[in-house]
Amino acid sequence: MEYHNYAGFPKDFLWGGSTSAYQVEGAYNEDGKGLSVQDTKAVTPGTSDFKVASDHYHRYKEDIALFAEMGFKAYRFSVAWTRIIPNGVGEVNQKGIEFYSNLIDECIKYEIEPIVTMYHFDLPDALNQKGGWSNPETSEAFIEYARVLFENLGHKVNYWLTINEQNMMILHGAAIGTVNEKVSNVKQDLYQQNHYMLLAQAKVMKMCHDLCPQAKIGPAPNISEVYPESADPRDFIAAQNLNAIRNWLYLDVAVYGRYNPIALAYLKDRGYAPEITEEDLDVFKAGKPDFIAFNYYNTSTAAHSSFSDAVVGPEDGDQQIELGEKGVYKAVYNQFLERTNFNWEVDPVGFRATLRSVYERYGLPIIITENGLGEFDELTADHQVHDQYRIDYLKDEIAEMKLALSDGVEVFGFCPWSAIDLVSTHSGVKKRYGFIYVDRDEFDLKELKRYKKDSFAWYQQVIATDGENLS
Ligand code: BGP
């Protein structure tokens, strides 16, 4: 839709950036930290592990000063569960509490709002050894961990995020480390894990409201609108299928307290449905989010599929886009979209579409907790990084977010991935996202010095002009 008058970003809009603990902190075994699944899982061959990452643990003051210089109003980071409770349950590690307390104070010193993710892919390995999320004890452990966070840090945090990209952990469990190899029905087990996580999330949201009345809390899935490949009505049904299974399943439970009917029909038919009791539904109803946070990188495109299809995945076999599933949908590339050097589709208009869909469905304020471009950046001899491609990418995304504001969508913050370079989940150090370059290679740590990229000054100006000047 075009308008005669367009909305601008509100003055109190939370412009910021994001990171996650295992990808940025390093110090993987210091000051009492226990090991998480990210420390113990095999890394992609030829890429760095997460032991040192960007050494943010030791350099957070320098990093936050740089964020403040950029004008950040918010910093979204995650707490490593294993710094707080090294074995997932039991003893609390005071040094871990101290670290995050200091980090939060450092943000507050610069009037940067800390936005804290409780759990970002880094389950304590000790819990993983006992079945991970397949074991309901993990949910109990998560709830206790949340209590420790609220009791120790709750008085100075206004925005909490429960679980990062729970939907990706379920749909791409093998890649993220949530698949329980010991069970016979892996998918049923994943959806049972999902159910336990949803229950834990609802209890934690309720606990947040009880213990920290000034704070707000929400889930942080990865949401992408799904297009039908063509106007063939069967493609439209395929797109609805994927939307239900990939997106709405997770948010419908969080917001409406019930399973999405299309997703549930699929789960039951395939024998993947979790056990859902009446008490579970009461738990869902008692713990509701105040806002929706979501990560957006691209849209998905789906075509009709039947049980007899031989192939349902993308033609090049690259699973960066959806996997496809017989009788549900075929995953296809969108012929209208370009792709990055890492084969991710680029779709700023789809960002507006996704914002509109989420807001129309749930009517809750939205914050974007990830969005960004992973690229091969180059540090020149005079320590510059000319990342015009990142500026172009973000400019288009922000412009579309602004149009979504004109559409009436309530967006209150934007924290692109990533505030500073960090180690990519699957592609190591070479895939960079930050406004600040961290000088290290895949295996040579060098001095880990920080250099401002061209996008640093650009984002500084975007924030200074409340999103008016994007050029
Ligand atoms: C999201 C994760 C982040 C981050 C990002 C980029 O799914 O929440 O942790 O990794 O994707 O992905 P990648 O590092 O694979 O490029």
Place of tokens 């496809």: 324
Q: Which amino acid is at 360?
A: E
**What is the Å distance from ligand 1's center to 433 Cα?**
10
Residue in 229, 370, 397, 400 annotated catalytic: 370
Q: From the alpha carbon of 222, which atom of ligand 1 is closest?
A: 7
281 CA distance to ligand 1 middle (Å): 31
Residue 165 near ligand 1, beta carbon < 6 Å: yes
| Residue tagged active-site, from 25, 106, 165, 322 | 165
Does ligand 1 lie within 6 Å of residue 425's CB atom?
yes
**Per-residue pLDDT, 184:** 78
Q: Is 427 in the pocket of ligand 1 (CB under 6 A)?
A: yes
Ligand 1 near 167 CB (within 6 A): no
Res 316: pLDDT = 77
Q: Which residues contact 32 (CB under 8 A, 6 or more apart)?
A: 83, 86, 93, 95, 96
Distance in Å, CA 373 to ligand 1 centroid: 10
221's tokens: 């899935």
pLDDT band for position 76 (50/70/90)? very high
276 Cα–ligand 1 center, Å: 31
pLDDT number for residue 361: 98
Give the whole-angstrom CA distance, residue 434 versus residue 422. 7
Q: Select from 31, 183, 168 the least CA-distant residue to 93.
A: 31
Q: What pLDDT is stored for residue 176 in this prediction? A: 64
**Is 86 a residue whose pLDDT tops 80?**
yes
pLDDT reported for residue 185: 83
Query: What's the pLDDT at 206?
Result: 98
Tokens representing 215 are 């704070």
Ligand 1 contact via 20 beta carbon (within 6 Å)? yes
Ligand 1 atom nearest to CA at 168: 7
Q: So what's the pLDDT on residue 179?
A: 74
Tens digits of residue pLDDT in 109-126: 999 999 999 999 999 999
Q: Using the predicted structure, report yes or no on whether residue 284 has a pLDDT greater than 90.
A: yes
168-224 tens-digit pLDDT: 999 987 766 667 777 878 899 999 999 999 999 999 999 999 999 999 999 999 999
**What spacing in Å lies between the alpha carbon of 424 and ligand 1's midpoint?**
6
| C-alpha dist (Å) from residue 98 to 84, 102, 214, 463 | 9, 6, 22, 31
202-220-327 Cα angle (round to 5): 90
C-alpha–C-alpha distance, residues 85 and 137, integer Å: 15
For ligand 1, the distance from its centroid to the CA atom of residue 143, given in whole angstroms, is: 25
**Given a cut of 70, is residue 363 above it in pLDDT?**
yes
Cβ of residue 168 lying under 6 Å from some atom of ligand 1 = yes
What is the pLDDT, as a whole number, of residue 183? 80
- Per domain, the residue ranges of the chain are 14-223+362-464
- Provide φ and ψ at 212, rounded to 5°: -130, 75
Which residue's alpha carbon is nearest to atom 9 within ligand 1? 425
For ligand 1, atom 4: residue with the closest CA? 425
Query: What residues have CB less than 8 Å from 192, skipping those under 6 apart?
Result: 134, 274, 275
Pairing of strands 300-303, 436-438: unpaired
Tokens of 19: 């990171």
Ligand 1 close to Cβ of residue 370 (< 6 A): yes
Looking up tokens 């090991």, which residue turns up? 35
Q: Which atom of ligand 1 is nearest to the CA of 374?
A: 16
Per-residue pLDDT for 356 more than 90? yes
Distance CA 262, CA 462 (A): 41
Question: CA-to-CA distance for 53 and 21, rounded, in angstroms?
Answer: 9
* Residue 5 Cα to ligand 1 middle (Å): 36
Question: Catalytic annotation on 315?
Answer: no
370 catalytic, yes or no?
yes
Q: Are 459 and 11 in contact (CB under 8 A)?
A: no
Q: Are strands 330-331 and 300-303 parallel, antiparallel or unpaired?
A: antiparallel
Q: Where are the alpha helices (DSSP H) in 185-331?
A: 186-211, 233-242, 249-256, 261-270, 278-286
> What does the alpha-carbon distance between residue 283 and residue 287 come to, in Å, rounded to a whole number?
7
Residue 41 backbone dihedrals phi, psi, to 5 degrees: -75, 155
Q: What is the residue with the minimal CA distance to atom 10 of ligand 1?
A: 425
421 lines ligand 1 (CB under 6 A): no
374 lines ligand 1 (CB under 6 A): yes
Q: What percent of the chain has pLDDT over 70?
A: 99
Cα 333 from Cα 331, distance rounded (Å): 7
| CB distance 138 to ligand 1 below 6 Å | no
Rounded-to-integer distance, Cα 303 and Cα 274, Å: 27
Mean pLDDT of the chain: 96
The CATH class given to the 14-223+362-464 domain equals: alpha beta
Instruction: Indicate the burial class of 226 (C-beta count within 10 angstroms; 0-12, 13-18, 19 or more).
Output: buried
